[in-house]
């Protein structure tokens, strides 16, 4: 008989080793207990039907049935098994009363279940085993003992075999269908119908056993039993081949699935969606398709289409897919080709199930307003209707670059509101009832993310935006005026504003002045609430000028090129009209940052050497900016970009003239200018001013032993250390070589002493940090205004003299100090000399 304990735990496949959870445990138990109750009723009706003549054949048949129960073969595709012990059950039906027949049937079935099971049976499993075989055996006994069949041996065994087979396999198929949510007729047809010939062969052997037993005695009839081994062996060979074919088909199916996943990864690399979006859609769509009663081919088609429905986006330009703002009509027209292209790509795969129609129609709407074909209602394939609703739900509940994710309940409410217009009401009804359960299933089915090496210099946004660029409507007053008057007035005002802006931009080389002029004139050309000019520094957009609403908020953002609204414009050199301001990095990522700005227009600033930045205007009104605003900004941006580029170069040249290139500290020229200004201030305020000249002792040895690159690192680190211990209004400069100067205003003797000690420690640390040895020390000379000089040259000369006096004093004590060849040695005195080491 069919042993079922290994599959009915969930209807799991034979490759599984652990039971899967039963979805409706209450219904499952009710089915098992009902079967067991029917079996108890059969046993109760059979009581009292045991006679003395049953004892000897009962013992023989029981022993033989138990001995052959381990001769079982596994049904391919299920963990269920078939044993040849049913031959002795049929023999018992023809020879014995019902009660001993039931004892034999239940006993050999328990032996079959407990002999080397794939999954250890639970008590409830064994209960169903016993109950199902008892019911099937009772039904076969009653049918075969009817007056029409009992007199004919062939009819008796044929009816008993067919009845036992049908009842037994139907009970098992019912439980598998219950746990797997499949139609019972399909489970029975796919897994048990093909086993019917075995029962007929077994019935023939059992009939032969009965005939021989009646005519020559059961001792001679036993000789026919070895034929069971032949039957068992033949089935093992046959089912082995079936299993080999099944495994081969499974491997091909797995290969097919991996190919689909590879294509899905290709879509992800192009579209930049969240990694688990496709997987989640697949879990949702497959479960809903099953509940709607789709055929196996339709379910497999939905499973594949969930991964591949956006493959046509490979034909859409990447700058459109990654655009963080709204799409223009022209861009949306390009997006709308992706279902057609996707269907054409997948047509070449020749799927054995209808994937292509689903992909081609997954943007159609129930009311016929979708694309590309405008299909309506039932014209849309059921798989596409399922996929459309599920895809939209997951998209609404996922984070996107142009908007925040909606809570799942709110996203589901949006789907429900569009039932009957965008979505099939039947699909929405199932989704509404099961979306929380399906969300849990999707999370449990999550797989590790596949990392792709795309080798791009920047990271892109998550997904393309949806919708159109809306053109702002004219005001009522303007609409009431004659159109030609509006056009003439607008053209005149536009010419005047552009002329003034062009003339103004050419008058300043100051970056701050240039940007301030640009902001002042743009207010009259393109209305806005906030203006931001971002300049590219390395691979980041840095705001160099911000004015208007939320000025402090936008001054704090730093936008990587390629990210956010302005970063996308900088990378692609394409404009955005009516983008969402909240997508700028550092803006929407911080929940404390909230702004009333609702729309933005951004254009690239292209100089002679490429994009130097982005000009972005923001407005509080949604969809405020028009194509005319875009045209005006493009007219302004070309002139503004060149002016800004010149101002940047001028600032760089000016900074280079007063800045030391190695350390970034002010150079000698800048030092003299600053020192003269400080002396004038100190004289007016009757304050003291202190100048320290530092020379690094042992620096020549660092260069000689470790190389000039290491020496440069030491100098930079010393400069950083000196700045770190100075006050905000102190001044640190590099004189050249290994000499540094510090200008200290109004410092006390105690503060100066502590400063010297700290400088000595930091210089030693800087040397050992890069050389690993305590090579470096420092000599410091000090001069004060007005006691030691009345101008910058006198103060620096006196501090320099005292610094070299320190060096020579130490040398005279027998401790030579290296002196740089390019250093000027001045007349000196041992007075006011300090040596710090």
User: What Cα–Cα distance (Å) separates residue 288 from each residue in 298, 356, 377?
Assistant: 12, 19, 18
Alpha helices in 626-748 (DSSP H): 627-658, 668-685, 699-706, 708-724
For the ranges 15-29, 254-268, 418-432, 775-789, the lowest mean pLDDT is seen at 15-29
User: What pLDDT does 501 receive?
Assistant: 57
Round to whole Å and give the CA distance between 146 and 126: 31
User: What pLDDT does 597 receive?
Assistant: 86
User: What Cα–Cα distance (Å) separates residue 715 from each residue in 549, 660, 702, 770?
Assistant: 44, 11, 11, 11
In sequence order, what are the residues at sequence separation of 6 or more whose Cβ sits closer than 8 angstroms to the Cβ of residue 5? 113, 117, 119, 121, 122, 125, 126, 128, 129
Q: Place domain 668-836 in its CATH homologous superfamily.
A: Reverse transcriptase/Diguanylate cyclase domain (3.30.70.270)
User: What pLDDT does 6 receive?
Assistant: 41
Round to whole Å and give the CA distance between 92 and 400: 70
**Same fold for the pair 250-444 and 476-657:** no
User: What Cα–Cα distance (Å) separates residue 586 from each residue in 407, 554, 618?
Assistant: 22, 9, 16
User: What pLDDT does 62 receive?
Assistant: 84
Contact 581, 615 (CB under 8 A): no
pLDDT in tens, 447-506: 555 554 444 444 444 444 444 444 344 444 334 444 433 433 444 455 455 555 555 555
What strands lie across the sheet with 777-785, from one edge to the other? 731-736, 739-745, 689-697, 777-785, 834-836
Neighbour count for residue 110 (Cβ, 10 Å): 19
pLDDT in tens, 382-437: 999 999 999 999 888 887 665 677 888 999 999 999 999 999 999 999 999 998 88
User: What pLDDT does 416 receive?
Assistant: 93
Gyration radius of the chain over CA positions: 45
Picking from 549, 554, 557, the residue whose alpha carbon sits closest to that of residue 529 is 549
User: What Cα–Cα distance (Å) separates residue 596 from each residue in 250, 620, 626, 627?
Assistant: 57, 6, 20, 23
Q: Place domain 250-444 in its CATH homologous superfamily.
A: Hypothetical protein af1432 (1.10.3210.10)
Contact 780, 696 (CB under 8 A): no
User: What pLDDT does 692 receive?
Assistant: 93
- Global pTM value: 0.46
Burial of 12 (0-12, 13-18, 19+ CB in 10 A): buried
* Predicted confidence (pLDDT) at residue 321 exceeds the cutoff of 80: no
pLDDT in tens, 117-167: 767 778 888 888 888 888 988 888 888 777 565 567 777 777 888 888 888
3-class DSSP state for residue 770?
helix
pLDDT in tens, 591-636: 555 678 888 999 998 888 889 899 999 998 888 888 878 877 887 8
User: What pLDDT does 97 receive?
Assistant: 85
What residues are paired with 777 via a beta bridge? 697
Q: Which residue is it, tokens 């081609």?
A: 360
In Å, the largest CA–CA distance within the chain is 143
Rounded to the nearest 5°, which phi and psi values hold at 785?
-100, 135
What residues are paired with 692 via a beta bridge? 742, 782
Burial of 256 (0-12, 13-18, 19+ CB in 10 A): middle
pLDDT in tens, 554-601: 888 888 888 888 899 999 889 998 888 888 776 544 555 567 888 899
Rounded to the nearest 5°, which phi and psi values hold at 830?
-70, -5
Phi-psi region of 313 (alpha: psi -120 to 50; beta: other; left: phi over 0): alpha
Among 390-404, 791-805, 810-824, top mean pLDDT goes to 791-805
Rounded to the nearest 5°, which phi and psi values hold at 310?
-105, 20
User: What pLDDT does 586 receive?
Assistant: 62
* Predicted confidence (pLDDT) at residue 96 exceeds the cutoff of 60: yes
Picking from 795, 660, 773, the residue whose alpha carbon sits closest to that of residue 719 is 660
Read off the tokens for 651.
Answer: 């600032």
pLDDT in tens, 663-681: 888 888 888 888 888 898 8
CATH class (in words) of the domain with range 2-222: mainly alpha
User: What pLDDT does 508 receive?
Assistant: 56
Quick one: pLDDT band at residue 832, thresholds 50, 70, 90? Answer: very low
CA atoms within 13 A on the CB side of 322: 24
Average per-residue pLDDT in the chain?
Answer: 76
3-class DSSP state for residue 78?
coil
DSSP letters spanning 311-377: GGGGGS-HHHHT--SPBPHHHHHHHTTHHHHHHHHHHTT--SS-HHHHHHHTT--TTS--SSS---G
Picking from 659, 554, 668, the residue whose alpha carbon sits closest to that of residue 616 is 554
What percentage of the chain exceeds 70 in pLDDT? 71
Write down the domain spans for the chain. 2-222, 250-444, 476-657, 668-836
Neighbour count for residue 440 (Cβ, 10 Å): 11
Mean pLDDT within 51-63 = 79
**CATH T-level assignment (fold) for domain 476-657:** Beta-Lactamase (3.30.450)
pLDDT in tens, 205-253: 777 666 766 666 655 555 555 666 666 666 666 666 766 776 766 677 6
Contact 88, 104 (CB under 8 A): yes
User: What pLDDT does 231 receive?
Assistant: 62
User: What pLDDT does 742 receive?
Assistant: 93
Length of the chain: 837
* Terminal C-alpha separation, the chain: 98
What strands lie across the sheet with 576-579, from one edge to the other? 559-560, 540-548, 530-537, 610-619, 599-607, 576-579
Contact 614, 570 (CB under 8 A): yes
Helix (H) or strand (E) holding 491: helix 483-505
User: What pLDDT does 452 receive?
Assistant: 47
Burial 811-837 (b: 16+ CB within 10 A, else e): eeeeeebbeeeebeeeebeeebbebbb
In sequence order, what are the residues at sequence separation of 6 or more whose Cβ sits closer than 8 angstroms to the Cβ of residue 255? none
pLDDT in tens, 504-516: 555 555 667 777 7
């Amino acid at each position: 008989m069919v042993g079922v304990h290994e599959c009915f735990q969930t209807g799991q496949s034979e490759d599984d080793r652990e039971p899967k959870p039963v979805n409706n445990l209450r219904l499952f138990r009710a089915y098992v207990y009902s079967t067991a109750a029917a079996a108890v009723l059969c046993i109760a009706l059979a009581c009292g039907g045991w006679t003395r003549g049953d004892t000897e054949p009962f013992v023989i048949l029981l022993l033989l049935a138990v001995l052959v129960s381990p001769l079982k073969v596994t049904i391919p595709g299920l963990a269920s098994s078939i044993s040849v012990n049913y031959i002795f059950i049929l023999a018992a039906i023809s020879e014995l009363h019902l009660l001993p027949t039931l004892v034999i049937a239940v006993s050999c079935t328990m032996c079959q279940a407990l002999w080397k099971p794939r999954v250890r049976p639970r008590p409830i499993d064994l209960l169903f085993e016993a109950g199902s075989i008892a019911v099937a055996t009772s039904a076969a006994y009653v049918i075969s003992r009817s007056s029409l069949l009992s007199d004919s041996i062939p009819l008796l065994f044929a009816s008993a075999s067919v009845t036992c087979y049908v009842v037994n396999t139907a009970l098992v198929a019912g439980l598998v269908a219950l746990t797997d949510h499949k139609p019972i007729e399909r489970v029975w047809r796919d897994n048990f119908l093909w086993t019917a010939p075995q029962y007929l062969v077994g019935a023939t052997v059992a009939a032969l056993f009965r005939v021989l037993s009646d005519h020559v005695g059961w001792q001679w009839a036993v000789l026919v039993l070895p034929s069971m081994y032949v039957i068992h062996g033949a089935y093992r060979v046959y089912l082995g081949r079936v299993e080999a074919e099944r495994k081969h088909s499974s491997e091909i199916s797995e290969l097919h699935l991996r190919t689909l996943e590879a294509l899905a990864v290709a879509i992800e690399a192009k579209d930049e969606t969240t990694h688990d979006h496709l997987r989640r859609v697949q879990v949702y769509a497959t479960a809903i398709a099953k509940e709607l009663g789709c055929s196996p081919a339709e379910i497999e088609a939905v499973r594949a289409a969930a991964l591949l429905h956006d493959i046509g986006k490979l034909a859409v330009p990447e700058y459109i897919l990654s655009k963080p703002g709204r799409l223009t009509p022209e861009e949306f027209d390009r997006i709308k080709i992706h279902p057609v292209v996707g269907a054409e790509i997948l047509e070449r795969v020749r799927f054995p199930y209808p994937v292509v129609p689903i992909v081609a129609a997954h943007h159609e709407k129930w009311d016929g307003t979708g694309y590309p074909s405008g299909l309506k209602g039932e014209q849309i394939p059921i798989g596409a209707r399922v996929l459309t609703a599920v895809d939209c739900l997951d998209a609404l509940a996922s984070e996107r670059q142009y908007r925040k994710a909606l809570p799942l309940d709110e996203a589901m409410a949006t789907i429900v509101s569009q039932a009957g217009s965008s979505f099939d009401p039947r699909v929405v009804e199932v989704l509404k009832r099961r979306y929380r359960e399906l969300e849990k299933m999707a999370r449990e089915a999550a797989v590790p993310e596949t990392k792709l090496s795309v080798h791009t210099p920047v990271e892109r946004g998550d997904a393309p935006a949806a919708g159109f660029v809306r053109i702002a409507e004219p005001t009522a007053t303007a609409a009431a005026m004659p159109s030609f008057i509006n056009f003439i007035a607008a053209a005149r005002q536009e010419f005047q504003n552009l002329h003034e802006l062009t003339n103004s931009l050419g008058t300043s080389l100051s970056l701050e002045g240039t940007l301030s002029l640009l902001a002042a004139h743009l207010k009259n050309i393109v209305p806005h609430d906030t203006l931001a000019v971002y300049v590219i520094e390395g691979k980041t957009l840095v705001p160099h000028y911000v004015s208007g609403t939320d000025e402090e908020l936008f001054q704090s953002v730093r936008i990587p090129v390629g990210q956010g609204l302005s970063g996308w414009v900088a990378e692609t050199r394409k404009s955005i009209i009516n983008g969402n301001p909240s997508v700028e990095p550092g803006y929407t990522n911080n929940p404390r940052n909230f702004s009333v700005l609702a729309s933005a227009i951004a254009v690239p600033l292209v100089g002679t050497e490429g994009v130097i930045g982005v000009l972005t205007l923001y407005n509080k009104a949604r969809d405020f900016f028009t194509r005319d605003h875009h045209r005006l900004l493009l007219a302004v941006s070309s002139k503004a970009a060149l002016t800004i580029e010149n101002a940047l170069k001028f600032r760089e040249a000016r900074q280079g003239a007063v800045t030391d290139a190695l350390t970034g500290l002010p150079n000698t020229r800048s030092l003299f200018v600053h020192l003269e200004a400080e002396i004038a201030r100190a004289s007016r305020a009757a304050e003291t001013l202190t100048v320290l000249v530092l020379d690094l002792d042992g620096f020549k040895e660092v260069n000689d032993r470790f190389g000039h690159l290491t020496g440069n690192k030491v100098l930079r680190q010393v400069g950083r250390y000196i700045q770190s211990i100075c006050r905000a209004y102190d001044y640190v400069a590099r004189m050249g070589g290994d000499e540094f100067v510090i200008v200290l205003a109004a410092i006390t003797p105690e503060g100066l002493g502590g400063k010297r000690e700290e400088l000595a420690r930091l210089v030693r640390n800087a040397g050992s940090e890069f050389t690993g040895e305590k090579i470096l020390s420092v000599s410091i000379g000090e001069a004060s205004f007005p006691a030691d000089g009345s101008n910058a040259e006198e103060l620096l000369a006196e501090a320099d003299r005292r610094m070299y006096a320190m060096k020579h004093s130490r040398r005279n004590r027998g401790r030579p100090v290296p002196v740089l060849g390019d250093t000027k040695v001045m007349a000196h005195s041992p007075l006011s000399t300090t040596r710090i080491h």
